[in-house]
């Protein structure tokens, strides 16, 4: 009972203090939509909006979740409020799950904002919504734990944002969000398959447009593996660097 109350209290505090702040709105909502509009307007040929939708959804989740973790975890460490959370009657693993659950939920909401916009433009019949939700959830979890890994590796918020961009911007071009992987230079394609977002986007392409080219089971396993690995490494770093 005390563990559940502590979990909910931490989650509620983060929702109240950090949701819908300017950095999260600009990076998580405005940036993905602006990037997509730029891509459409700059294209010399007509663009299939439904074909772009998986990439826009993945981009919204990636930037929204990592931006939020960069702010919350890094700021609380700097202000030493994170140390007070360690006094809560909850294990470190559950504490970090409470700190990251808010970002995962934020990512889920972000992902379906483009869906709402696109639904007024094109017909979305035939979409496998169950698989879409599963894909978005796995992308949100993986991106959130990537943000956690970044946040526990730096000391300042601006360092976390800079380090985040080191991962995020290459993913825009290498993960098949807007440019198919087989259209990339041959020597760059192996790097695409090292990035978790490649598998998340492929899941969404399969669910929305039936155009995924990776095995569904492989994408699920890779995303789960990245999620567990990133979370485990992040908690280990917290134990080693933050808890003396």
Q: Which residues contact 231 (CB under 8 A, 6 or more apart)?
A: 96, 100, 145, 148
Over the chain (244 residues), what is each successive 10-residue block's mean pLDDT? 73 72 63 63 62 85 81 73 72 84 85 82 87 94 90 76 82 84 87 92 92 89 94 88 68
Q: Which residues contact 65 (CB under 8 A, 6 or more apart)?
A: 28, 103, 104, 106, 107, 110, 140, 143, 144, 146, 147
Greatest CA separation for the chain: 59
For residue 199, give both structure tokens. 């598998």
Residue in the structure block whose two tokens are 């959830």: 137
Q: What are the extents of the domains in the chain?
A: 2-242
Residue 175 CA neighbour count, 13 Å, CB half: 29
Residue 221 CA neighbour count, 13 Å, CB half: 5
Assessment of whether the complete model's pTM goes beyond 0.85? yes
- How far apart are the C-alpha atoms of 131 and 57, rounded to whole Å? 14
pLDDT of residue 10: 75
pLDDT of residue 193: 92
pLDDT of residue 68: 77
pLDDT of residue 143: 92
To the nearest 10°, the Cα dihedral for 129, 130, 131, 135?
Answer: 90
The answer to whether 49 touches 121, Cβ cutoff 8 Å, is: yes
Q: Which helix (H) or strand (E) holds 120?
A: none
The answer to whether 95 touches 88, Cβ cutoff 8 Å, is: yes
Among residues 126, 149, 141, the alpha carbon closest in space to that of 199 is found at 141
pLDDT of residue 203: 94
pLDDT of residue 59: 86
């Amino acid at each position: 009972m005390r563990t559940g109350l502590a979990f909910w209290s931490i989650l509620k505090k983060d929702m109240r203090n950090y949701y819908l702040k300017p950095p999260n709105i600009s990076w998580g909502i405005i940036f993905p939509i602006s990037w997509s509009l730029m891509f459409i307007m700059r294209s010399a040929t007509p663009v299939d909006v439904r074909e772009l939708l998986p990439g826009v959804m993945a981009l919204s989740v990636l930037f929204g979740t990592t931006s939020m973790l960069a702010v919350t975890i890094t700021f609380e460490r700097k202000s030493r409020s994170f140390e007070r959370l360690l006094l809560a009657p909850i294990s470190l693993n559950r504490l970090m799950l409470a700190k990251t659950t808010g970002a995962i939920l934020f990512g889920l909401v972000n992902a379906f904002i483009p869906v709402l916009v696109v639904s007024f433009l094109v017909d979305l019949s035939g979409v496998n919504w169950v698989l879409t939700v599963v894909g978005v959830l796995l992308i949100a979890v993986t991106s959130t734990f990537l943000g956690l890994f970044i946040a526990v590796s730096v000391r300042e918020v601006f360092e976390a944002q800079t380090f985040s961009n080191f991962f995020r911007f290459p993913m825009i071009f290498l993960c098949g969000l807007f440019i198919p992987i087989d259209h990339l230079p041959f020597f760059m394609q192996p790097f695409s398959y090292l990035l978790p977002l490649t598998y998340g986007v492929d899941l969404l392409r399969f669910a929305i447009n039936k155009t995924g080219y990776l095995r569904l089971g492989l994408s699920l396993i890779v995303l789960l593996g990245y999620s567990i690995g990133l979370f485990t490494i992040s908690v280990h770093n917290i134990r080693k660097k933050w808890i003396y």
